[in-house]
Structure 1
Amino acid sequence: MRVNSTTKARTRAAAGLTVAALAAGATAGAGPATAQPKAAPAAAAAADCSAAYRIEQKLSSGTTWRMCWRYDGKAGLVLEKISYQPKGEPKPIRVLNSARLGQIHVPYDDGNIEYDDLTGFDFAQGLMNLAPGECPGGTIKTVKVPDSWNEDPNVKGLCTTTRSRGHAYRMQGDTANKVFQAQGKDLLVYTVNQVGWYEYMTEWRFQDDGAITMNVGATGSLSWDDYDAGDGRGWPIGKGASAKSTSHSHNAFWRLDFALDGSTKNKVEQYDSTVSAPTRGQRAPTTKTTRTKVTRELAGDSKNYRWWRMVSATGKNKDGHARSYEIVPGPTTKYPGRSYTKHDLYVTQYNKCELFASHNPGNCGPGAGKSVDKWVNGQTLTHPVVWMNIGFHHIARDEDQQPMPVHWQGFSIAPRDVTAMNPLTPAELGRQNGHWRPRR
């Protein structure tokens, strides 16, 4: 059953549904934290919101991230007006209008039940209070949950902190006694939402090199009432082989509304490479890469030697190259059972009504449909919105009890030509841009 002592109210309001356990999915784990986020002068702020809803952090490497946050009654945490300012850039560079979860779809292998946790099982209502030890070195912000079912709608549930991620780079210099290296720093923003026996950790990681990683992790507990799976649909948990926990999938969707350099008129490009065997006179195989401009809505699939990028329509770096962000999918198990989970990436024309990848509430117009696949209908892209689908097939194991270790799923967007050089380049190497030559 998708119920425990802390979720009875949510279960009653969900029309008394009885469910087999959920185990959800995805992120890169939180590590050690350091300095607290700090406010900056209003004149320098790229995020246009009140101080209570502003996140701003200058990392030790010189990079500053700025954004606003709000809490949605279905999607949970929503980040808006996200900008990135590495050292050497005179002003913040806008990256995203908004970033949020688009759905967590959970179908069970036995075909008896499936859930849409954001729109159908009160994900947002399950925001959990965080203890100081869960946000080491950071700040826990109080979130007012819309239409809360609890007596007190205020939850200490949003952590903003920083952490180290290991080497940002390492390079041997011109002489054997010179090594250039730096340890990378990240701004970490996260919440925890309980749905039944499981707890989703929604993490946003903003790196000092300009990359953004978004993850969902699932932890908590396997449901005590979910051990009746037949052969081929479950895994024995506990002594013997009689109690088999039902296997299921976690299909996590994210919705990204880009606004590179402050403009929503971004362009989408797909790149595919083909490798051909050596011909006479060649020493090795050849590789050719082809660019396809995506001008209409897209239902896309990841494949070997394929990638996408979102390109700024207005901004260029100091080398005169158009700024862009590359989409970097994480490991995924694509679920073929529903039309909206059959593709890895969707690009749709912006529509303020299109907010959730499946069972979208509200009426988006005649014949619009309730899922993201129905919205890909040939419209010209003038304001593209990206939907990323990352799947995880959860086959339980003895180690999932008790409590269940966090399992993660997610993806990243990486800067491509946003700056003319590595934004963390040390001053001593600043001249080595393009086809440079060693000094004699």
Structure 2
Amino acid sequence: MLGTMRRFPKTSVAGAGLLALMLAGCTGTANGGEPDPKPSAAAVEQSCGERQQAISRTLSSGAAWAMCWSVDPKLGMVLSDITFVPPGADAIPVISRMSLAQLEVPYDSGKRLTSDITSAGFGGPNMHTITDAECPAERLSIAIPNVGDGSKFGSSPVREVLCSQETDSALSYRSGDLGQVVAKRKQDWQLSTISKVGWYEYVNQVTFGADGSIRPSLGATGDLSPVDYSDAKHGWPVGPGDHDHAASHSHNAVWKIDWALGGESGQKVEQFDAKDTGKLGTDELGKASPIVNGTLTPIPKPASARWTDRRWWRVLAPGKVNADKHPISYQIDMAKTDRFTFVDDAEHHGSDAGYDVAFTNADECQVFATMNRGRCGRGVPEYVELGKDQPLDNVVTWVAVGYHHVPRDEDQSPMEMHWQGFNLLPRDLTSRRVDVPQERESLNGKPEDWDGQMPPKE
């Protein structure tokens, strides 16, 4: 059943094409296939720009995602006005605009370096039409200019370029406590495009979870460079014998996320670290476990940071709280990354100019992570430096994830897809999980009486 119509406040370009996105759909199932009694997500009135299209999906939890999508000649797939709608609740603006901001590919031999976003681009003719072979699901069409943005030269044929697909993402939860097993599988919603630059073909993918999570990722396939062969120090032998060494290289990617939590401003940033104190705690039987202290450190002004074990960051909206009176936020969780410094950043700012994340204030001029043009800086290190005296308020996050590719025989041919990416996890976006089963409706916070199993004593 549809909920009340609610307007999602725009945080990016306004324009034509006002659509009412009916986000109500099938509800999830709980134990034994019984329908989940929670209401599905409310409808959201979404306004997208002239060259954007509205898209939405209700997932297994009963929650829904809605957003606008478009294709930029350089950036490729751009997602904007991203909103999450928990079952039976108001829409929550999450991200104003998100896209790749650079992809640098330096070869270990030192003989090749490309900046694929700014030099070639992931849109235009480099964005390929998809078929049932790449996307056995919904394929969406949009006008793709052959030259630039299509406003001056060339044509803009309408092509199927966006794959919209629901996937089974395994078990969402299971608990056998309190006398009854509750278990449920979940769905993800994947949006992806394919762009070909040189010998590589890239899958630019963003996965939206039924739990409110977001996973931007970049997959690479295609072929090894037919002209980049080196020696044993800079590559790996492929083919017969040990004389042809395909050159190793890196895929250094940066994503840009312009946040909308709580509105266009008023956002804060914090860094969490958990450190071992070197001490052991005690219980009634004596020594128990190592004491690990967790600390939250505010990042009040534009800054860059490196990832280390047990570290994550969050962007929060102090003025917007959930039902438990906790400020809503999203956690930036780094996955596997091969740390790097962009060649352009090192040339202009030194070899220590690298970062895993950086936080700046929104500026429409700051588009690319490197090779940017205009008054606002050449890349992220300059964005941070130029804004270092301003308090963070309208937060943009730059996330850098590297993948060092050492070729292997199995890469020929075509090479198996290899992936890099990171996670954006809701932290206190809602007061509990969005699809609490009926058996756990009364559980929120520390239980007064726990009838379930207790940890064994050793």
Q: TM-score with structure 1 length normalisation?
A: 0.84
CA distance, structure 1, for counterparts of residue 237 and residue 140 of structure 2:
39
Contact persistence 1:145–1:155 (CA under 8 A): no
The one-letter amino acid paired with 2:380 is V
The one-letter amino acid paired with 1:87 is P
The one-letter amino acid paired with 2:445 is G
Of 60-69 and 42-51, the range deviating more from structure 2: 42-51
Change (3 A) 1:412 1:154: same
Match of 2:438 in 1: 427
Per-residue CA deviation, residues 214-252 of structure 1 (Å, 9 max, x unaligned), is 00000011122223x023001111001111111111101
Q: Note if 1:234 corresponds to 2:216.
A: no
CA distance, structure 2, for counterparts of residue 247 and residue 230 of structure 1:
10
Question: Partner of 2:365: helix, strand, or coil?
Answer: coil
Contact persistence 1:270–1:306 (CA under 8 A): yes
The one-letter amino acid paired with 2:379 is S
Runs of 4+ in 1 over 3 A off after TM superposition: 148-153, 279-284, 336-341, 437-440
Q: Note if 1:58 corresponds to 2:58.
A: yes
Name stretches of at least 5 consecutive residues in structure 1 with no aligned partner: 1-37
Q: Note if 1:248 corresponds to 2:256.
A: no
- The 5 Å alignment of 1:68-147 reads 68-89=68-89, 91-125=90-124, 126-145=126-145, 147=147
The one-letter amino acid paired with 2:396 is V
Count the aligned residue pairs.
395
Contact persistence 2:335–2:423 (CA under 8 A): yes
Superposed displacement of residue 197, structure 1: 1.2
Percent identity of paired positions between Structure 1 and Structure 2: 33
Q: Note if 1:192 corresponds to 2:197.
A: no
The one-letter amino acid paired with 1:395 is V
Per-residue CA deviation, residues 350-402 of structure 1 (Å, 9 max, x unaligned), is 21111111111x2124xx3x111121111321212100000011110001111
1:303 paired residue among 300, 303, 308? 308
Superposed displacement of residue 73, structure 1: 1.4
CA distance, structure 1, for counterparts of residue 157 and residue 235 of structure 2:
38
The one-letter amino acid paired with 1:154 is V
Change (3 A) 1:280 1:246: closer
Question: Partner of 1:311: helix, strand, or coil?
Answer: strand
Contact persistence 2:61–2:211 (CA under 8 A): no
2:336 paired residue among 320, 331, 338? 331
1:412 paired residue among 418, 423, 427? 423
Contact persistence 2:93–2:261 (CA under 8 A): yes
The one-letter amino acid paired with 1:40 is M
CA distance, structure 1, for counterparts of residue 154 and residue 248 of structure 2:
32
CA distance, structure 1, for counterparts of residue 281 and residue 134 of structure 2:
62
Of 108-117 and 403-412, the range deviating more from structure 2: 108-117
Question: Partner of 1:375: helix, strand, or coil?
Answer: helix
CA distance, structure 2, for counterparts of residue 185 and residue 143 of structure 1:
30
Change (3 A) 1:439 1:215: closer
Q: Note if 1:153 corresponds to 2:157.
A: yes
- The 5 Å alignment of 1:22-61 reads 39-40=21-22, 44-49=43-48, 53-61=53-61
- The 5 Å alignment of 1:139-288 reads 139-145=139-145, 147=147, 153-175=157-179, 178-227=180-229, 229-278=230-279, 283-288=288-293
Change (3 A) 1:216 1:237: same
The one-letter amino acid paired with 1:322 is P
The structure with higher relative contact order (CA 8 Å, sep 6+) is 1
User: What do you get for the CA RMSD once the two structures are aligned?
Assistant: 2.3
Of 135-144 and 413-422, the range deviating more from structure 2: 135-144
Contact persistence 1:66–1:82 (CA under 8 A): yes
Of 246-255 and 306-315, the range deviating more from structure 2: 306-315
Per-residue CA deviation, residues 262-288 of structure 1 (Å, 9 max, x unaligned), is 333210011122211226976432111
Question: Partner of 2:439: helix, strand, or coil?
Answer: helix
Superposed displacement of residue 46, structure 1: 4.9
CA distance, structure 1, for counterparts of residue 160 and residue 259 of structure 2:
29
Change (3 A) 1:287 1:246: same
